[in-house]
A and B are shown apart, each in its own frame.
Chain A
Amino acid sequence: NAGVTQTPKFQVLKTGQSMTLQCAQDMNHNSMYWYRQDPGMGLRLIYYSASEGTTDKGEVPNGYNVSRLNKREFSLRLESAAPSQTSVYFCASRRSLGSNQPQHFGDGTRLSIL
């Protein structure tokens, strides 16, 4: 029972490089989310996808793009990485819309931008 799987687990980039973070869930969930976690700031929502074919901006979307490839997969792309994007990125999913349902998290991708 994998739940939410994120790849890669670690990555180091140079400023200006591009990269795609992958996320897949096997729980047949409709909604998926990307967060970033920074020290002292908790988790902040970057983008989310309420269902296959839809995406919406969260709290901190600048510098990122997303693709909901199918129901299982939701990727996050950094087109031109900046040091300010050094962070731990978490993908999450939940069964459907509705804040009364818990989100299930992956183990995170630790990204450093030099």
Chain B
Amino acid sequence: AQSVTQPDIHITVSEGASLELRCNYSYGATPYLFWYVQSPGQGLQLLLKYFSGDTLVQGIKGFEAEFKRSQSSFNLRKPSVHWSDAAEYFCAVGANFGNEKLTFGTGTRLTIIP
């Protein structure tokens, strides 16, 4: 069975500082990986996705993520955060064949301080 771990429940960073949110997955083959962002009172918005090919993927709002098979990780990064990036971030993994199940991590809440 696939699973996702987001080890950081809450992260606080200063505006303008760099950001890295951690995501580790468990799956027997190459997974499909996603990062979603949820602003308060809103649904989830897709930031980026990885299916195959280049292991560094670019997303919206200046985010990027790197797939590292050896570490079973798909960490989300941003060079310089803005106050509007404060939100909850979810990593998700899907199987790469005939499987509807998309498994979400428990989320990381990001707080930005001035």
Q: What is A's interface to B at a CB cutoff of 8 Å?
A: 4, 31, 40-45, 48, 50, 56, 58-59, 90, 92, 97, 99-100, 102-108
Contacts and interface: CB of A to CB of B under 8 A. Distances in A.
Contacts of B41: 107-108
Interface of B: 4, 9, 32, 34, 36, 41-46, 49, 51, 90, 94-96, 98-102, 104-107
B43 A97 contact: no
Contacts of B45: 105
Nearest to B9: A40
Contacts of B34: 102
A99 B104 contact: no
Nearest to B90: A42
A97 B32 contact: no
B100 A97 contact: yes
A42 to B, nearest CB: 4
15 contacts: A31-B100, A42-B106, A43-B104, A50-B100, A58-B101, A99-B94, A99-B102, A100-B32, A100-B94, A100-B96, A102-B34, A102-B46, A103-B102, A107-B41, A107-B43
